């Protein structure tokens, strides 16, 4: 259950087993069926979630009803609406499970307590967020500079496992292109690489 989280932590910081045990005590576990919500737009995001099994997606819905994927989260990834979690204001993102999933949850209060009790964890999250910034910035640059085909190719290179696990129209939404365009690109690319 907690092995993945421990691995994520020990990859980034030095920490004792006793402390890890203490970390564990701040989390609760949750199972989510496919299509179940972890968070709905407009609610307050009470938890940051660490995925131990399954795939979730976080997304916003625009005025026209179209989904725009912010992030996929599989095993070993964190997911939440950071803004809502931090401020306690209504979430602008929705998060749901694309497969039956298992999560470790921590509330804002538990997070504060944990960071107070185990200050090392500040460093863990600092590094985690720093890496996250690098990844999102990179995605932003790609979205500004690349063509639809280049985006899809990069997605294939960077997250081959996600491509295999989630429906194609969801990938399209993540890349910011229409399902039709993605379908055409795939047809065109068939055989390449």
**Residue 130 interacts with, from a copy of itself, DNA, none (CB under 5-8 Å by kind):** a copy of itself
56, 50, 82, 137 alpha-carbon torsion, rounded to 10°: -80
139 is an interface residue for a copy of itself by CB under 8 A? yes
Residue 4 parent element (H or E):
helix 3-10
Comparing CB distances to DNA, the nearer of 82 and 146 is: 146
- What's the rounded Cα separation, in Å, for the pair 51 and 29? 10
**By the 8 A CB rule, do 45 and 91 touch?**
yes
**By the 8 A CB rule, do 125 and 50 touch?**
no
**By the 8 A CB rule, do 97 and 33 touch?**
yes
- The C-alpha angle with vertex 170 and arms to 76 and 58, in degrees rounded to 5, equals 50
Which of 4, 148, 159, 165 binds DNA (CB under 7 A)? It is 148
Here's the x/- map for a copy of itself, 58-97, by CB under 8 A: it reads as --x-x---x-x-xx----------xx--x-----------
The secondary structure of residue 147, as a DSSP letter, is -
- What's the rounded Cα separation, in Å, for the pair 27 and 108? 11
| Only segment of 5-13, 106-114, 119-127, 165-173 that touches DNA (CB under 7 A) | 165-173
60 is an interface residue for DNA by CB under 7 A? no
**Residue 136 interacts with, from DNA, a copy of itself, none (CB under 5-8 Å by kind):** a copy of itself
Binding stretches for a copy of itself (CB under 8 A): 60, 62, 66, 68, 70-71, 82-83, 86, 115, 119, 122-123, 125-126, 129-134, 136-141, 143-145, 176
Binding stretches for DNA (CB under 7 A): 147-149, 167-170, 176-184, 186-187
């Amino acid at each position: 259950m907690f092995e993945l989280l421990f691995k994520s932590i020990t990859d980034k910081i030095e920490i004792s087993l006793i402390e890890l045990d203490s970390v564990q005590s701040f989390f609760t576990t949750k199972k989510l069926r496919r299509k179940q919500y972890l968070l709905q737009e407009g609610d307050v995001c009470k938890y940051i979630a660490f995925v131990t099994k399954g795939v979730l997606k976080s997304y916003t819905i625009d005025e026209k009803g179209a989904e725009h994927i912010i992030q996929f989260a599989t095993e070993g990834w964190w997911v939440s609406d950071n803004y809502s979690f931090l401020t306690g204001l209504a979430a602008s993102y929705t998060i749901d499970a694309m497969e039956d999933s298992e999560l470790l949850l921590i509330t804002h209060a538990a997070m504060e307590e944990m960071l107070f009790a185990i200050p090392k964890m500040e460093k863990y999250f600092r590094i985690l967020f720093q890496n996250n910034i690098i990844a999102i910035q990179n995605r932003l640059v790609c979205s500004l500079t690349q063509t639809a085909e280049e985006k899809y190719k990069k997605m294939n290179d960077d997250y081959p496992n996600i491509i295999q696990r989630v429906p194609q129209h969801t990938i399209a939404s993540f890349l910011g292109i229409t399902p039709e365009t993605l379908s055409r690109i795939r047809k065109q690319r068939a055989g390449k690489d």
